Structure 1
């Protein structure tokens, strides 16, 4: 996850800069100054491009072990957080209700597609493969591994919140949106009959805006 987070932060900040430019906010506006400060703080927080490159190198060097389920336990108590997260993708997928509502059934189909991608990655990263951080192909495998871990985190978070008071977090729509984006970034086709999760997500955000609730997954109260 240490590799994915810097990339996502960079993409979000780039999108914000594009929006501010198109909306005519000048360099001296409070919005642009705040964005510049956030960009400057990335290195201190360890979420800049240098951090991403460092994490990517670590993943490349350990690809054979990191993608091999035989190296990992499934008990979080053994301290193998990476192994537990990697195993969550297949585990949470198997527990999804394939016969539930349309969005949940679609989430199950997309999740199964990602489990297939994970199996293919394990074959590509077998013990006989060479993994050199200078090799673009090896870096591409590290990218795929990081994205699949992100998908596992999404499914694990949704499953953990399914029977809690956090209604939206336990629902399928935000997870379907996230997994659809991950699938597209992997270059894999989405399964047929995948509904568009955007309307439900936008409706949730609009409702929160009207009630002074933040857009984070836990529906925190706004501090201002």
Structure 2
């Protein structure tokens, strides 16, 4: 069953158009990798889905509702859980306070987040600003899960992290897919890891979807042409 549909979406930052024709869809329980080189419109697409940037044309539907007509907080209430690029934790609040600030009723609570990321349990009374970059990323993911989303959106969740921490993050994402069946939209450059968790992929180049399909069909020619790996 389709959960998110992005159809021919265009969006602009003021007079500067950033998206021209972006289309893809995510079904319930699916993981989609949104790919492309830097500056091609991936984060802008996420901002548009989450209603942080207006849609100038096209359609975005989530859980059968027209997102383009909703403010950001209403879209979030429908079940969009965003882990933004740059983490953006509340640095002056503790780990526990960051998690409880985002809490909504449902499966995910602090105990389940701590089970997914045991480091957070060890640091529950520390301020988020005192955590390492990897721990802050775990907290950002945990905070999004505390909203009990239907779709978890991860924007560069492993960027700039040490290899061991990256492995922990990827293992957590794999666990979410296998054990919860949560739909996930993930932006990342690690094609090897994406192949292990994603069902489908969509590639954006200069604000347009230039390829979409099963990640198993993502061959060397396509990746060299549009991703550069």
Q: Which has the larger radius of gyration?
A: 1
Verify same fold: TM over 0.5.
no
Which protein has greater RCO, CA pairs closer than 8 Å, 6+ apart?
Answer: 2
TM-score normalised by length of structure 1: 0.28
Higher helix proportion, which one?
1
Higher strand proportion, which one?
2
